[in-house]
Amino acid sequence: MAEETYEAIVIGAGPGGYVAAIRLGQLGVKTLCVEREYWGGVCLNWGCIPSKALIAASGLAHKVRHASHMGITVEGLKVDIPTMQKWKDGIVKKLTSGVKSLVKGNGADVAFGSARLVDARTVEVTDPDGKKARYAATKGIVVATGTNIIRIPGFEPDGELVITAREAVSLQTAPEHLVIIGGGVIGMELGMVYQKLGSKVTVVEMMDQILPGTDKDVVRVVDKHFTKGDNPAEVLTGARAKSLEKKGGKAVVTVEHEGKTRTLEADKVLVAVGFRPNSAGLGLEEVGVALDDRGHIVVDAYLRTNVPGIYAIGDVKGGPYLAHKASKEGEVAAEVIAGHKGAKLDVVAMPAAIFTEPEIATVGLTETEAKKQGRSYDIGKFPFAASGRAMAVDSTDGFIKVLTDPDDDHKVLGVTIVGPEAADLISEGALALEMHAYAEDVALTVHPHPTLGEGVMEAFKHALGEAIHVMNKKKK
């Protein structure tokens, strides 16, 4: 018999789970939120937030070192990594403690421990001391357990020589040589952090480019920053890490690249090849919840599984693995459970950002996707090199690229940005897509000067052949 009955139980307190619990509390639904490891999930503890703090700090040091052409010369610049880590940890502590307070402040209860479904209406929670308690849910159970790191046989993390992002955001020194297995988002973001802090960085990527799936013209901009300059990184694409051996406090990685075998001696090896859903051990299959072939929970547009009363949100239900996507789904699931009419996951396009140097952000259709689909599109493009504001902040690499539909009066299809503040600029593109806007809508909107946002306006004008600060395409 359950110790207590709730209307809703949320399993997991990451960006999806804690948002669902807060929203349920706001809607007057008696809710319990269960977390087994840390409030705020991967994002707040060793993902989004700590990595971005390190990106900002290392980026500032790098910019100061290279500001002599602006008339700024700093002698004896010192980077104190342990102090940088303490600063980062302070941000994490403030945010994670705030999450728990917000959940409770909005009327939801909290429990710490590992949760498992007993049936479609009952959750068993085992606390760190092994004590078990059962709770019933009369309206719904929300599974928001996220993902965990994929492990490669032979490259199992030991927390010392072979590490994951979890350890990489807390290193107290910059390794002399950092080898990264995987040139995706995590590998590139953290690789650039330690490159700027002085590490020699080598990336081993199986695909034919870093940041697989990203438009090649965008990747070229990031690749130039990464592989050029005073501390160039090495990128091995089309390469496979074959084995790892530990010798004399070093890791020796054997790599197959361009038909040849070579070895890389590293002080640290960061394994960053992706994530898999945290769906095992929750009792899902025993209760009858359907999973796809990768272990993601299958849901409909209302975040409902095939078992009435059980919902799933965030990474555990499938990609793209984005914190803001999980949060949106948490709000929707809460409103569905509360009985709100019209509550449904109805998002036109989900923006995404990569915090490399420079930043990358996309929303809607990319050029790569458009080509794969074989659909017609027009492009508008504005380079940051033509932006007065970009020049003034000394960040002119990259561009804003927009795709429009030539068969529908240039309706907005997608926006891709690589350059300064791309992650912030992309929101205008997301709004345009959500409102089913046309290129003309953005082009006619007055943007303040001098700003980076003017480039978005100019890119849409370029798609229409009306750009002012860049030459337009010749009309056919």
> Catalytic residue positions?
449
Burial class (CB in 10 A: 0-12, 13-18, 19+), 230: exposed
- The residue among 19, 3, 25, 23 whose CA lies nearest residue 113 is 3
Separation of alpha carbons 377 and 370, rounded Å: 7
Separation of alpha carbons 454 and 467, rounded Å: 11
Distances (CA, A) of 283 to 3, 118, 143: 19, 7, 11
How open is the CA angle 267-270-275, to the nearest 5 degrees? 165
- The residue among 165, 175, 226 whose CA lies nearest residue 356 is 226
Within 8 A by CB and 6+ apart from 45, the residues are 38, 92, 96
- The residue among 301, 34, 267, 68 whose CA lies nearest residue 168 is 267
Spell out the alpha helix ranges (H) of 265-408. 284-287, 323-337, 367-373, 388-392
* End-to-end CA separation in angstroms for the chain: 75
Q: Which residue in the block uniquely carries the two structure tokens 């107290």?
A: 172
Asked if the bond preceding 358 is cis, omega within 30° of 0, the reply is: yes
Type of residue numbered 14: G
